[in-house]
Structure 1
Amino acid sequence: MCFAVSCKNAKEEYTTISKEESLKQIPDSIDFSFHIKPILSDRCFACHGPDKNAVEGGLSLHKAEDAYAAIGENLDRYAIVPGDVANSELINRIFNEDPNMVMPPEESNLILSAYEKELFKKWIEQGAVYKKHWAFVPPVKPVVPKVENEGWGKNEIDKFVLKKLELEGFSPSKKASKEQLIRRVFFSITGLPPSAEQVNAFLNDTTEEAYEKIVDSLLNTVAYAEYMAADWMDVARYADTHGYQDDFERTMWPWRDWVIHAFNKNMSYDEFITYQLAGDMIPNATKESILATGFNRNHKITAEGGVIPEEYRIEYVEDRTNTFGTAFLGMTMECARCHDHKYDPLSQKDHFQLFGFFNNIDEKGLMANAQEIPKPYITVSKKDADGVLDFVNMTNSPTPKVEVMVMKDMSKPRETFVLNRGVYDQPADQVFPGTPEAILPFPEGFPKNRLGLAKWLFHEDHPLTARVAVNRIWQRMFGKGLVESSYDFGNQGALPSHPELLDFLAIKFQKEEWNVKNIIKFMALSETFQQSSEISEEMQEKDPENTYLSRASRLRLSAEMIRDQALKISGLLNDEVGGPSVKPYQPEGIWEETTGGGGGSTSTYIQSSGKDLYRKSLYTFWKRTVPPPSMMTFDAASRDLCTVKRQETNTPLQALVLLNDPQLIEAARALAYKSIGVVGKEPKDQIAYIFQNATSRAPSEEEMAILTNFYQDTLRKIETGEVVTEEYLSIGEFAVVSDISQKDLAALALTAHTILNLDETISRG
């Protein structure tokens, strides 16, 4: 009922705005890409779009030659006549009040507002000029705009942002406090918080270079490389199991070690991607470059009895194809598997030509058993780890050598066909490896294999690669991309909020040899990044999503950051790099609840012990059918498919995790114990130390009063037996060896746990 009311209200809002009000809002010049195309894509393309098999009434509106063509039984009418509104049938139909004639038709539940109708009318008056979709036009370096407030800004990012703010009548926010700034940049670059000592050192450094020195130092840490790798695990759909029913264990962690290594040495983005797409094909391929191709094999693989092997082999190739489209093109390639894409100029033939690049490895669709290593694979030995693969941490490997799935093409390429409706056993026309011409035709002379595909991706005229990459880096630094739909740069995706800035960054990234650290530093040093996150009532009303970047967005920490922060500030964090995945605390019996019955190492969860309990979340064992529950509660990706943007939710379950996760309770106890060793036995000093480490700032007098009262109240509850000290202090393996009073420790630990639950503690600032 509520849904129906909402739809009704929305329709009334769309239809009651007067023509006069609409005309006041119409821009002087109508741009097809930014004004008309989004409406066509959203309201018209389902019936009048690129999919030739779904076109109604013989009218397609996605390109000029079709939109201008004669229609009707006698071919005597035209949907669009440039410059002639009266003879343009589109205008007649969208303004028509007859329910049998109006477009969109009533049964579609789609409507056009008065403003949108007037846009179409003015666009046709101005010549109905079509343009290629903005994302398919190669970026050209824009002129840096001149701004009125020349005193604000550190680099070109700020000029583009300020120009937009001035046009909208807005102003940028003041600079964030030094405490907020150091917290923000630490989390944005390393995924970890600054220590109280680092915060204080930054506060005391009054030189102009203080902040830049922090940025440089963070970019040169292994923590930066691990944090970048953690983000890449979502993109690469990394997991420690194969997925499907029995979900057997696989060994892919040496590939993860390579990713950390690549980021640590600041491998250029083009080389980083080329290694993963086609490292086995580059001239003089090494064991390292071959290992990197494990990226393509991170998809699910089945061992279920009764499946049809060829059907699942096709699914694996589809996964590699769609991962390529999402990760590097920002395009929904999977939508063209069964038919031509309904919204983007991607045909079913385009889809299977791209599919052809990934269709040539000699793999089986069905694993025989849990012990099988799906071919092709390479062997990584401890000897390799001491030599050519010295970045692979074999210290804790249960065996002296491990097999890792990689790519290796067959000597004779497998034939590829368009599959009718995308079904594995319905081949139609044969196709050969190729790329969508609407994006960039495959150049003459490029090898028609994965290495050629990588070269195509980094061709100087490619319109998407650099834009998609810098947009995801921006998303990482600012909370959302300049194109908010970082997974979709197509017609159904969001328009860039700052198109010129996006192109400037894309060109800069290309010209600076795809240097990832450089582009991150450039963003971090901008005044835009350094703004306060405070928001006025006016801006809350006018720009609630912070589209214009008039402030810093307030961001909750990721699932990994919340856990890693608690481990870091408590002193529990084990900073060992790389190696096999570990199994920290999880609810007892969780794997048994969903086991497929096939046995193997993933039938029962055997918790790690000792220092392995405190490894970074990057190294947590990832079982696809039962991902780590506390991390999933905080919106971690399931790793079933390539994910470039996590969903964002706020649920009561998140509060329950913060209050009851043994890892956080244990970290609170360790943090309390650590504070006693650092600042002594005075509770106020202990609480202030804990608060600063958790929030990166000193507490106010009011906050200190509240927390001190909480501490004293907790002590009283311990005295009366309301809190059972022994039970609370026994959670987790960390043991306190000290003559400190157990009651005092419990009260301080509960206070620390409260601080770890603060909204400010789980926010980036």
Structure 2
Amino acid sequence: MISIKGNKMFWGIPFIGWLILVAVTIACKENPSHDVFEFPDQVSYNLHVRPILSENCFTCHGPDANKREAGLRLDVASEAYAVLKDSPGKHAIVPGSSTESLVFNRMISLDPEEKMPPPSSNLQLSDHQVNIIKKWIDEGAVYEPHWAFVSPKKTPLPKVKNKGWAKNEIDYFVLSKMEAKGLSPSVMADDLSLMRRIYFDLIGLPPSPEVLDELQENGLKPEAVIDRLFQSASYGEKMAVAWMDVARYADSHGYQDDYYRTQWPWRDWVIHAFNKNMPYDQFITWQLAGDLLPNAGKEQLLATGFNRNHKITEESGAIDEEYRVMYAIDRTNTLGKAMLGVTLECAQCHDHKYDPISQKEYFQTYAFFNTIAEWGIEEKNPGFSKKSPAKYPLMEISNKDVEELLQFINMPDSAARVNRLMAGMTKGTNYNSLLDEANVLKVAVMGELDSTRNTYILERGAYDAHGEKVEPGLPASILPFPDSLPKNRLGLAKWLFDKENPLPARVFVNRIWQELFGVGIVDTPGDFGLQGNLPTNQELLDWLAVDFIEHGWNIQYLLKKIMLSSTYQQSSIVRKEHLMLDPENKYLARFPRLRLKAEEIRDLILASSGLLNMEIGGPSVKTYQPAGLWEAATSGRGNLSKFQLDTGKYLYRRGLYTFIKRTVPPPSMMLFDASNRDACEVERLKTSTPLQALVMMNDPVVLEASRVFASQLLKEDPNPEKGIGYAFYSIIGRKPDEIESKILGNHLTSFLGEYREDRAKAKRIIEVGKYPIMDDLPVAKLAALAQVITLIYNMEASITKA
């Protein structure tokens, strides 16, 4: 992006940032301050020992019986203390005596035949790690249950020195960690920065200059602003973005032929559920088992589309049962990652190598999803034939349903929808059924078989290798599945939200924290198991989880609690001592500077320019992308084989509604780390590449928006210099200072001179995009101001939440 004050262009961060980064790296090497080098006064199994054993020992001496060597298991105290089968009279671990513990002796052995881990594993313990193990054994080798598998409890607020800083309970926990590390909090963010932060976090859109002026005139009251934004329909859209990644929502089936699918009414329901502040336990229960609820209606049934969002094949050469099994496995793995935060998928082919989850327990969980009335292979033209089997079970939504029951669904007019669906149709399409589809939507949902389908352990995970027959159940290490619950998806949901279940509240609270601060309290949001990272502040995570449950799983309550804390309202200005003591900002002595998500970058550009179509819900839209991309990257078959750009207002919809074809996802969004929706994702990658700068400088969305914004400004005032300040305020959320104004003014002068001499070049600049051009404006002025606005969009500050 661009550092405007230095008037230089760099990819990722300004040049001075690189200098700071290098200095910090050198300082950290000279004065290591990472926790791994700190020797604890008292060694904890969970904090210090288990990570060492998990990384170096559990592959051969952990939960997986199939891979266990010498009959030795080190993750369970009773087995680690027991007499060794291969060495009578000896013990792997003797509590209180490292010299008598064979594990320790093998760790320090110089004999390559005896040494553990063996040299062939390419693993080697450091002296620090060996000393940790020694001290732990000498102190009694006390095992502790894994923190995430123990129900969270609220602990008393920790004592802090700077009590005046804390606004609520969150701040006590954060400040306690800060003070322990020798850190102090940052000052509070200025009003404009805080308002922009709150707006992006709650509705994913920038506040307009008029809104910012109003808030400043009336005095900034964050709580009132938060409450007002909760009432905005845009709140549900913002919250839905992350849930689409979790739910692997897409507009095509995936695989080679990649046909169109009509699941967007489910997305409309998600927006609606967030806007009505549906409690999280109900939100998940409806999606897992809405069809099994007593007196379930069409809304509850529609919610279960969550578990039909997975990829579906329509290739006639595929094996039906193989793909049906794949669908059930996808749902099982999604449950593990999205709701439990554990890597269930690691137990599909064998017992989990690290977590106490057996292969049998994996397929007991899988059994809840193995009784769906579905087929594995989709037939041609899915969604346009009433006989397509893999779409079943499905529900039909008519105009009458929308008028009477499902008013939150944005049912577009039939003719316009048919025109869009017809784009790219292959020869032989049944247009009568297409017209029927335009008036009656068909959405894939959940539904049970009339008869029972047996579930077996699948040996090595192969679909046709049936082993032991199993009944529905769940991992006992998390929470045993009680006999009193029904052995169906509704019983699964009840188990999930049992007050003793240690994971669901922690996992969701952690993801909300991640949405606001960029990184969760557990920075492995999909893995709370033994291989996942420890929380940076477990007491805070547990307090928030319990508080969330106590307040009825209220998502808006949770957001508001965090956003009203001093922790959230800090400035993002980086101080030297912060970089030295906490370069990764783990302890939040400042607010992190975060690049906006791909969808939010698009929304910022469209909203600030006045182009944004604020319509809520409805079908996805195809926006600008390189010509020929779909045609070159796919089989050439199917009703999405050819790309047809949407037109009119549909071109300017929010990023949430961008059409996602799984085999060729939208390139500009993918370059900014959006998900291709192949599988459940609970965390997006964070990359910084030159291609991102090229997108911001060349994407038709950016250039078109700049031209339209410039047209509006020149229409109001023919002096282009007058419009620069307003454009800056709209995009960045503050007014430019004197240096910035001078630099932008100089660029305007330079562009004006260039385009007055080369009118053809100026004309090419303003012809980008489909939005009508204002012919009555001077071409050179319009092109020059548009280029300056593009420059502002390319500033680092424009696409950063700070």
The secondary structure found in structure 1 opposite 2:165 is coil
Question: Does the 8 A contact of 1:22 with 1:118 survive in 2?
Answer: no
In structure 1, distance between residues paired with 2:706 and 2:328: 46
Shift of 1:231: 1.1
1:188 aligned to which of 184, 201, 216: 201
Please tell me whether residue 748 in structure 1 is matched to residue 785 in structure 2.
yes
Shift of 1:168: 1.0
Shift of 1:597: 2.9
Which 10-residue stretch deviates more, 298-307 or 100-109?
100-109
Shift of 1:22: 12
Aligned to 2:499: 460
Deviations 1:714-736 (A, max 9, x none): 01111222871211111111123
2:741 aligned to which of 704, 707, 724: 704
Aligned to 1:566: 605
Question: Does the 8 A contact of 1:82 with 1:125 survive in 2?
Answer: yes
Shift of 1:411: 2.2
Aligned to 1:140: 153
Please tell me whether residue 115 in structure 1 is matched to residue 134 in structure 2.
no
2:397 aligned to which of 363, 372, 380: 380
The secondary structure found in structure 2 opposite 1:390 is coil
Please tell me whether residue 420 in structure 1 is matched to residue 468 in structure 2.
no
Please tell me whether residue 430 in structure 1 is matched to residue 469 in structure 2.
yes
Please tell me whether residue 172 in structure 1 is matched to residue 189 in structure 2.
no
2:708 aligned to which of 670, 679, 682: 670
What's the TM-score once normalised by structure 2's chain length? 0.91
In structure 2, distance between residues paired with 1:23 and 1:334: 30
In structure 2, distance between residues paired with 1:287 and 1:367: 24
Shift of 1:97: 2.5
In structure 1, distance between residues paired with 2:522 and 2:760: 50
In structure 2, distance between residues paired with 1:233 and 1:23: 37
Question: Does the 8 A contact of 1:376 with 1:406 survive in 2?
Answer: yes
In structure 2, distance between residues paired with 1:47 and 1:421: 18
In structure 1, distance between residues paired with 2:620 and 2:591: 35
* Greater RCO (CA < 8 Å, at least 6 residues apart): 2
Aligned to 1:8: none
Deviations 1:602-635 (A, max 9, x none): 0111111000000111111110000111000000
Residues 213, 677 of structure 1: alpha-carbon distance in 2 compared, 3 angstrom cutoff:
farther
Shift of 1:413: 2.0
Residues 289, 386 of structure 1: alpha-carbon distance in 2 compared, 3 angstrom cutoff:
same
Matches within 5 A, 1:314-333: 314-333=325-344
Aligned to 1:239: 250
In structure 1, distance between residues paired with 2:36 and 2:296: 62
In structure 1, distance between residues paired with 2:677 and 2:760: 40
Q: Which runs of 5+ in 1 are unaligned?
A: 1-15
In structure 2, distance between residues paired with 1:612 and 1:75: 75
Deviations 1:409-440 (A, max 9, x none): 01222100000000011000000000000000
Which 10-residue stretch deviates more, 559-568 or 114-123?
114-123
Aligned to 2:323: 312
Matches within 5 A, 1:635-654: 635-654=673-692
Shift of 1:48: 1.0
Shift of 1:738: 5.8
Paired amino acid for 1:119 = I
Shift of 1:201: 2.0
Residues 24, 342 of structure 1: alpha-carbon distance in 2 compared, 3 angstrom cutoff:
closer
Shift of 1:304: 1.4
Aligned to 1:445: 484
Paired amino acid for 1:411 = D
Shift of 1:446: 0.4
Aligned to 1:6: none
Deviations 1:42-86 (A, max 9, x none): 111111111011011221111111111111524221111111121
Aligned to 1:258: 269
Paired amino acid for 1:394 = M
Deviations 1:698-721 (A, max 9, x none): 101001000000000001111222
Question: Does the 8 A contact of 1:22 with 1:114 survive in 2?
Answer: no
Question: Does the 8 A contact of 1:329 with 1:468 survive in 2?
Answer: yes
In structure 1, distance between residues paired with 2:489 and 2:125: 44
In structure 1, distance between residues paired with 2:405 and 2:707: 43
Question: Does the 8 A contact of 2:767 with 2:773 survive in 1?
Answer: no
In structure 1, distance between residues paired with 2:703 and 2:331: 41
2:61 aligned to which of 32, 48, 62: 48
Please tell me whether residue 625 in structure 1 is matched to residue 663 in structure 2.
yes
Aligned to 1:547: 586
Residues 728, 159 of structure 1: alpha-carbon distance in 2 compared, 3 angstrom cutoff:
same
In structure 2, distance between residues paired with 1:722 and 1:393: 44
Residues 739, 454 of structure 1: alpha-carbon distance in 2 compared, 3 angstrom cutoff:
same
Question: Does the 8 A contact of 2:174 with 2:588 survive in 1?
Answer: yes
In structure 1, distance between residues paired with 2:348 and 2:35: 40
The secondary structure found in structure 1 opposite 2:679 is coil
The secondary structure found in structure 1 opposite 2:397 is strand
Aligned to 1:297: 308
Deviations 1:295-339 (A, max 9, x none): 000001101132111011100000010011110000111110000
Paired amino acid for 2:709 = L
2:557 aligned to which of 506, 518, 531: 518
Matches within 5 A, 1:327-342: 327-342=338-353
Shift of 1:541: 2.7
The secondary structure found in structure 2 opposite 1:290 is helix
Question: Does the 8 A contact of 1:276 with 1:296 survive in 2?
Answer: yes
Please tell me whether residue 494 in structure 1 is matched to residue 507 in structure 2.
no
Aligned to 1:359: 370
Question: Does the 8 A contact of 2:505 with 2:545 survive in 1?
Answer: yes
In structure 2, distance between residues paired with 1:390 and 1:263: 15
Paired amino acid for 1:524 = M
In structure 1, distance between residues paired with 2:188 and 2:764: 46
Shift of 1:37: 1.1
In structure 2, distance between residues paired with 1:539 and 1:144: 24
Shift of 1:598: 2.2
In structure 2, distance between residues paired with 1:147 and 1:190: 34
Shift of 1:218: 1.2
Please tell me whether residue 688 in structure 1 is matched to residue 725 in structure 2.
yes
Residues 730, 289 of structure 1: alpha-carbon distance in 2 compared, 3 angstrom cutoff:
same
Aligned to 1:4: none
Shift of 1:219: 1.6
What's the TM-score once normalised by structure 1's chain length? 0.95
In structure 2, distance between residues paired with 1:23 and 1:644: 27
Please tell me whether residue 102 in structure 1 is matched to residue 140 in structure 2.
no
Aligned to 2:26: none
Q: Which runs of 5+ in 2 are unaligned?
A: 1-28, 419-437
Shift of 1:677: 4.4
Shift of 1:106: 1.6
Shift of 1:663: 0.9
Paired amino acid for 1:599 = G
Shift of 1:696: 0.4
Question: Does the 8 A contact of 1:79 with 1:90 survive in 2?
Answer: yes
Which 10-residue stretch deviates more, 361-370 or 424-433?
361-370
Please tell me whether residue 390 in structure 1 is matched to residue 428 in structure 2.
no
Q: Percent identity?
A: 50
In structure 1, distance between residues paired with 2:197 and 2:140: 48
Matches within 5 A, 1:52-131: 52-131=65-144
Question: Does the 8 A contact of 2:356 with 2:477 survive in 1?
Answer: yes
Question: Does the 8 A contact of 1:417 with 1:428 survive in 2?
Answer: yes
Cα RMSD (Å) of the superposition? 1.7
Deviations 1:160-211 (A, max 9, x none): 000011111110111111111111111111111111112222223336xx12
In structure 2, distance between residues paired with 1:525 and 1:215: 9
In structure 1, distance between residues paired with 2:629 and 2:227: 43
Please tell me whether residue 288 in structure 1 is matched to residue 326 in structure 2.
no
Paired amino acid for 1:131 = E
Shift of 1:285: 0.3
How many residue pairs align between the two structures?
A: 744
Matches within 5 A, 1:17-56: 25-56=38-69
